[in-house]
Chains A and B, each alone.
Chain A
Amino acid sequence: MDTSSFSETQFYEIQPGIIWDARVAWDLSLGGLGVGAFLLAFLLWCLADRRYRPLAQTAAVIAPVAVAIGLTLLFSKLGYKFHVYQMGLNFAPTSIMWWGALLQGAFVGLSAIFAFRLLLPNVSLLDWLSARRVGWVAVPLAVLTGLYHGVLLAVISSHPLWATGQMVIASVLLFMITGSAGALLVHMIRTALLGARSEEGSLKDYWAGLRPLVLVMLVSTALLLVTLLAWWMDLRFGPTRDQEVITAVLATYGSLITLAITALVGALALCVAALLAGLRGRSLPAFATAILCVLMLGGGFAIRYVAVLGGQLSPPVSTLATLS
């Protein structure tokens, strides 16, 4: 007689596979980068002196381009692209995605005008749309868009990895980190290729002036690492379903998560090094600053990628235990 014990067997056929693929991760990453870059551009343009205008210009150009590329990737994922106009024809205020489409559309338009005004301030075209006026309208849109990138997933309550406050907090911190890092990196590449502008002055003074930005990046990165820890704890010590999800995510993306955290810790260390060097009247070598930016961008994207794809690893399944 076979007395082997059955572990509970479940057979429930639902559509397999990842529903939102890497293109969504890219969309959220590029969207965050664009939003962060815009806020940096606006702050530099409003608060910093003239030598940071070229950096503000670079960041301003990145903003609409990055968000638009992200939206294009998202568009390519739609099953029925020709119906996309329906989002404009139908009023769906309960849908976060509907709000997101409005916000991002408006943000791309306004940030493009802002970039135009910064690059070509003397052109009379659209003269009434001053950089300051457009910027102040676009700032709340940028913040809301950054929040949207997290809220979009956080409202999907059937997916435990997403339905957390940490999802939204991480999204905000990621746009602050990747926007600044992306803008700095692109500006460094531009400077290396085309040379520094005369108004940018000496490199040492230039980087000394960016110390507040490095401090913001440092604090944001540290907070992101704390958020990731809280995210893990929330799931690890949560209900059984949450524990299953975090186990599945770690089993599948453990290496990528390790790489991401290593990259962010490395970036954190370089931020500290940059600030310490500044206190001693010195600055980080250009290649170290570039590495710092790459680490932040790479770590940030990896977190987004794991969040989007990992959140779908363990799809919501009804079982006998869920019948009550």
Chain B
Amino acid sequence: MSDKRYAMVIDLHRCVGCAACDIACKSENNVPVEFHWSNHIIETSGTFPDTRYNYIPTLCNHCENAPCVTNCPTTAMHKSEDGLTLHDPDKCIGCRLCQLSCPYGVIWFNKEDPHQNFMRDSEPAIPGGTSTGQEVAQAADAPIPYYNPARATTYQGIRDRGMVEKCTFCDHRLAVGEDPACVVACPADARIFGDLNDLESPPSKALAKYTPRVLQRDQGTKPHVFYIRNFNK
């Protein structure tokens, strides 16, 4: 039994809204272009010149009371010993009940074979000057040009058609002692990741110092992604 309880704290005061987390996640996890394991909410409001632009990064909340896990009829969606909400494609039947159950809209379903945009990329950007995506993939002996084989160590490298997929907190990186890709990529150190059972861990300290907030608290899911501070303080 693991004694870890992973969580992420997002410091909204530090976040600059650059979306580097989103790009890093796509690259690390071979996420199709149209999916967003790492995502964000943008809200713009006010009357010029008194306008506000707010940006909140989002991802799977790895909820303690995860409705996707509770409702999954095959236990494909499950909790790991260290508190991660993970998906086992060998058990998934593609019923999409997890997608319906998730209040955060962070589970994605492969209606078609993923990365079809790449498969259709048969024209080089500069004829005679650049290769097509297909040619690059063939030269690299990879299923797609931007394929990361490390992802396949704990999950399908590219998920099958008919399956759901979601953020895993980069469990393949955690397994080798590294932080999730979005945490590493953040240029403002706005993402604080670690073990909540360790009171000296960065997220524990951050939660002790600032009042944590979560999305849709009323759903009672007990998210493990917390938000601290605000944009202007």
Contacts and interface: CB of A to CB of B under 8 A. Distances in A.
A95 B70 contact: yes
B93 A79 contact: yes
Contacts, number: 169
A78 B70 contact: no
Contacts of B91: 83, 86, 90
A7 B54 CA distance: 14
A97 B46 contact: no
Interface in B61-83: 67, 69-76
A136 interface: no
A127 interface: no
Interface residues of A, number: 51
A132 B159 CA distance: 50
B162 A79 contact: yes
B152 interface: no
Contact of B74 (A6, A13, A81, A90): A90
A94 B68 CA distance: 11
A10 to B, nearest CB: 5
Interface string B76-102: 100000000000001111111101111
Nearest to A152: B97
Interface residues of B, number: 61
Given A90-B75, A158-B102, A79 B41 contact: no
- The A interface, classified by DSSP as helix, strand, loop or mixed, is loop
Nearest to A15: B108
Contact of A323 (B48, B163, B227): B227
Nearest to B41: A12
B48 A3 contact: yes
B232 interface: no
Interface of B: 35-36, 39-49, 51, 54, 56, 58, 67, 69-76, 90-97, 99-111, 160-164, 213-220, 227
Given A79-B96, A323-B56, 15 more contacts: A7-B45, A9-B44, A9-B45, A15-B105, A79-B93, A80-B92, A80-B94, A83-B74, A87-B74, A312-B100, A318-B41, A318-B104, A322-B217, A322-B218, A323-B214
Interface of A: 1-15, 19-20, 77-81, 83-84, 86-87, 89-92, 94-98, 101, 155-159, 312, 315-320, 322-324
24 contacts: A1-B49, A5-B47, A6-B44, A8-B44, A10-B42, A11-B42, A20-B96, A77-B95, A78-B94, A79-B109, A79-B111, A79-B161, A80-B92, A81-B93, A86-B90, A86-B92, A95-B70, A95-B73, A98-B74, A316-B102, A316-B216, A318-B215, A320-B56, A324-B217
